[in-house]
Amino acid sequence: MDIEQAKREFLEYLEIEKGRSLKTIENYDRYLCRFISQTGVKRIDNLNDETVRNYRLWLNRQTSSSGGNLKKNTQNYYLIALRVFLKYLAKRGLKSLAPDRIELAKTPARDLDLITEVELNRILVAPNGSELKDLRDRAILELLFSTGLRVSELCSLNKDSINLAREEFSIRGKGEKIRLVFISPDAKAILKTYLAKRKDMDEAMFVSLSPISKSEGRLSPRSIERLVKYYAVKAGISKKVTPHTIRHSFATDLLQNGADIRSVQMMLGHANVATTQIYTHVTDKHLREIHQKFHRKNSN
């Protein structure tokens, strides 16, 4: 089969049968187009180990926008797209390279952008005014920490998305999967105050505001990122702080207070518990306390 035809049918399969978002499909298309363009492969039955080996060499020698080589994580995005494509071909019984022939690049252990509890609290109270913008920004920060939402999920919320009486709501996350998230008393209180002060008719939960407090539409993820950065600086924090940093704080707070890893996985909306396990090292500081408390207590 012609590889362009196979790619087109694969992308349609992702959209129709798997229900993937258009953004995800665009990413797969871009990665596979790069593979096809670089390797010159015309048919799926011409794919072989040598083709992939040369492609990996080419990827490893590419430069990023910052001038250095492509990070291993970035290279893996290309390889994962290829592997998923090959799995699709195998599922259809089409002759091509076996998907397990695609090995991902080894990556270093992921470093988390963590802030202390004191720093987090300083950020949360940084929007300390009573104007609509202050209330909006405080609600954004409190909701990020209360729920562990991804920034894209936060931006997608509407005013009627959240049941304040039940202190919970459902969110559609990655892979179109729906999960339940919960609201803390602090987040509930500030959301209630913020919504009561809103006078516009915009359906979005968080909107851009002009100096005269007129709605200018839904806030974008980039706007939220700038907002978080602004309040981190205002709170006197020099390290980089993003909405994802607050998501990290949500996860580590749960684990440090005794939550089990599976529950945290569900609340974060991770498809695989291995993704959640990057947070478990933050509880390592408790290991010293356990060691000192229990080790060789009967040796005297």
Quick one: pLDDT at residue 213?
45
Quick one: pLDDT at residue 283?
60
Shared domain check, 133 and 46: no
- Structural domain boundaries enclosing 25: 3-101
**Which CATH number does the domain housing residue 93 bear?**
1.10.150.130
Tokens 């089990």, residue located? 260
Q: pLDDT averaged over the chain?
A: 84
Q: Is 23 part of any domain?
A: yes
Shared domain check, 170 and 23: no
- Answer whether 0.95 is exceeded by the pTM: no
Q: Label the pairing between strands 168-172 and 207-209.
A: unpaired
Shared domain check, 159 and 49: no
Q: Is 160 part of any domain?
A: yes
Tokens 């490893």, residue located? 60
Quick one: pLDDT at residue 232?
92
Q: Where are the alpha helices (DSSP H) in the chain?
A: 3-16, 22-39, 49-60, 72-91, 117-124, 132-147, 151-155, 185-197, 221-234, 243-256, 261-268, 273-276, 285-294
Q: If residue 180 lies in a helix (H) or strand (E), which one and from where to where?
A: strand 178-182
Shared domain check, 58 and 193: no
The residue with greater pLDDT, 281 or 201, is 201
Shared domain check, 213 and 85: no
* Domain end position, chosen among 33, 68, 101: 101
Q: Is 142 part of any domain?
A: yes
| Poorest-pLDDT segment among 9-13, 51-55, 270-274 | 270-274
Shared domain check, 143 and 241: yes
Count how many domains the chain has. Answer: 2
Q: If residue 220 lies in a helix (H) or strand (E), which one and from where to where?
A: none
Q: Is 112 part of any domain?
A: no
Shared domain check, 248 and 126: yes
Assess whether pLDDT exceeds 70 at residue 250. yes
Shared domain check, 192 and 82: no
Quick one: pLDDT at residue 254?
83
Tokens 């609340």, residue located? 267
Shared domain check, 145 and 40: no
Quick one: pLDDT at residue 215?
46
Q: Is 130 part of any domain?
A: yes
Shared domain check, 125 and 79: no
Tell me how far apart the alpha carbons of residues 117 and 123 are, in angstroms, rounded to a whole number.
10
Residues labelled as active-site residues? 150, 174, 244, 247, 270, 279
Task: Summarize pLDDT for 185-241 with one digit per residue, the tens.
Answer: 999 999 999 999 988 888 889 988 765 444 468 888 999 999 999 999 999 988 889
Shared domain check, 251 and 128: yes
* Domain end position, chosen among 77, 101, 125: 101
Task: Summarize pLDDT for 252-278 with one digit per residue, the tens.
Answer: 888 877 788 888 888 888 877 777 777
* Contact residues for 38 (Cβ-Cβ < 8 A; gap 6+): 55, 58
Quick one: pLDDT at residue 126?
92
Quick one: pLDDT at residue 266?
84
Shared domain check, 165 and 80: no
Task: Summarize pLDDT for 98-140 with one digit per residue, the tens.
Answer: 888 888 877 665 556 678 888 989 999 999 888 999 999 999 9
**Which CATH number does the domain housing residue 238 bear?**
1.10.443.10
The residue with greater pLDDT, 181 or 70, is 181
Task: Summarize pLDDT for 70-102 with one digit per residue, the tens.
Answer: 788 888 888 899 999 999 999 988 888 888 888
Confidence class of residue 281 from pLDDT cuts 50, 70 and 90? low
Average pLDDT for residues 22-37, to the nearest whole number? 90
Quick one: pLDDT at residue 212?
46
Beta bridge partners of 63: 69
Assess whether pLDDT exceeds 90 at residue 68. no
